[in-house]
Each structure stands twice: as structure tokens, then as C-alpha cells.
A and B are shown apart, each in its own frame.
Chain A
Amino acid sequence: DQQVKQNSPSLSVQEGRISILNCDYTNSMFDYFLWYKKYPAEGPTFLISISSIKDKNEDGRFTVFLNKSAKHLSLHIVPSQPGDSAVYFCAALAPSDKLIFGTGTRLQVFP
């Protein structure tokens, strides 16, 4: 049973445009969410996070939006750059302090 879902396995966006990566979760007890970025042959690196008491967190070109009623979060990257091409994982922190990851979305930014 996948508690954190990323329903789009891949996304292709033109350089300079906005990339929107989506993530849905099922457990209303999750209160902290994170996005990680992973390049091939490297481990994931932390990108941005959001607490459930907020609905938006912004860091440069990256913004995460949280809609608790819909149990949905999204990562916006604007403007998208070729170096953003990677696999993006969303993760939720369970009450047990386990990180529950989604299956990932492969973003490709083309010129």
C-alpha cells in the first residue's frame, strides 16, 4: 500500500518554462514533507521541505505547495533549467519518524 504517490513517472518541460511535480499522500497524520532530487549514480539530495502548518514554502526557483484537505503537494520549478533534469522524490515524515518516499518522477528539461 503506497502511502505517498507520485502518479507521473516522467515529465518533459522546455527550458525556461515551469515544471510542476505532483505528489499525493493518504495518511493525514503526516505533518512534514520533503522533496529530494536524484541524479544518476548519486544519492538523493534534499531540495526543499514544508511543514503541515504552512501551505507554501519558497526557496529561489523552487516552491512547494501543500493542500492538506486534498492531501496533495506539488513542487514548482521556475524557470526550469537543463540542470534540473533528474528524478524527484517526495517524502512524508510519518509519526514514527520514518520517511515514506514516493516512487519518483523523472524530469527532463530540454532546450
Chain B
Amino acid sequence: KAGVTQTPRYLIKTRGQQVTLSCSPISGHRSVSWYQQTPGQGLQFLFEYFSETQRNKGNFPGRFSGRQFSNSRSEMNVSTLELGDSALYLCASSLDRTGVSEQFFGPGTRLTVL
């Protein structure tokens, strides 16, 4: 069974640009969560999508948005990039909602904002 895949793996953008990251969950998984990992901050929850609906949201500004498609693939978008958005963005999928079933993480997309 293929794991969670994320594309692209690495990305370099400049301030003010926008970026879209993609996550393909494990086949059959309906929940996708996104996290931001920065040194000293650990993993911070961005949002969770379940059956195409945003089910939970972390404390991030509105520049961070996401969506989930009918095939459970998810995208997250960051607009008007800032230097502080440089981070590893991880997505995790689970069969059911977070807390009900185990999450499996993808390798992440490393975003560098110059």
C-alpha cells in the first residue's frame, strides 16, 4: 500500500508570492491534516479536512487555506508569503477523523521563502 505522498518535496519562493502544496493520502483514508514544522516550535496544526469539509483549524492567519477533493487529495495554499513561512509542511492522513484512527505522515514539503 502506497504511503502518503506530498509534492513538491522542495520549494523556493520569494516574499509576496503564493504557493500551493499537494498531499495524496493513503488509499481509503478520508481525513487529511496539515502541520507546519519549524525549529523550536515543533509541529503546529494548520487544519484538518474530512470528506471534503474543513473539520478543524489551527491558529494560523487567513493567508493559509486548504481544500480537499472528492478523491481525498488535499491542497494547501499560502498567499502573500512571508519569510517566517519558511518551514517543513507535513500532511498526515488517517482512515477516519483524527483521534479515532492513527495518522500516517508524508515526508513533507520544505518551503524556503527568500
Please report A residues at the B interface, Cβ cutoff 8 Å: 4, 6, 32, 36, 41-46, 89, 91, 93, 96-104
**B12-20, B65-73, B74-82, B96-104: which lies at the interface:** B96-104
B97 to A97, Cβ gap below 8 A? yes
The smallest C-beta distance from B36 to any residue of chain A, in angstroms, reads 10
Judged by a CB distance under 8 angstroms, whether B8 is at the interface is no
Q: Mark B74-114, 1 if CB is under 8 A from A, else 0.
A: 00000000000000001010000111101111111000000
A43 to B108, Cβ gap below 8 A? yes
Please list the 8 inter-chain residue pairs (A to B) with the smallest Cβ-Cβ separation, ordered nearest first.
A43-B105, A103-B42, A101-B43, A97-B99, A101-B42, A44-B105, A97-B98, A93-B99
Sample of 17 further A-B pairs with CB below 8 A, known A93-B98, A99-B103, A101-B42: A32-B99, A41-B107, A42-B107, A43-B90, A43-B105, A43-B106, A43-B108, A46-B103, A96-B56, A98-B45, A99-B98, A101-B35, A101-B44, A101-B45, A102-B42, A103-B40, A104-B42
B43 contacts across to A, CB distance below 8 A: 44, 89, 91, 99, 101
Interchain CA distance A96-B103 in the complex, whole Å: 16
A selection of 18 A-B contacts at a CB cut-off of 8 Å is A41-B107, A43-B90, A43-B104, A43-B106, A43-B107, A44-B43, A45-B104, A45-B105, A46-B104, A91-B43, A97-B55, A97-B97, A97-B98, A97-B99, A101-B35, A101-B45, A103-B40, A103-B41
Judged by a CB distance under 8 angstroms, whether B4 is at the interface is yes
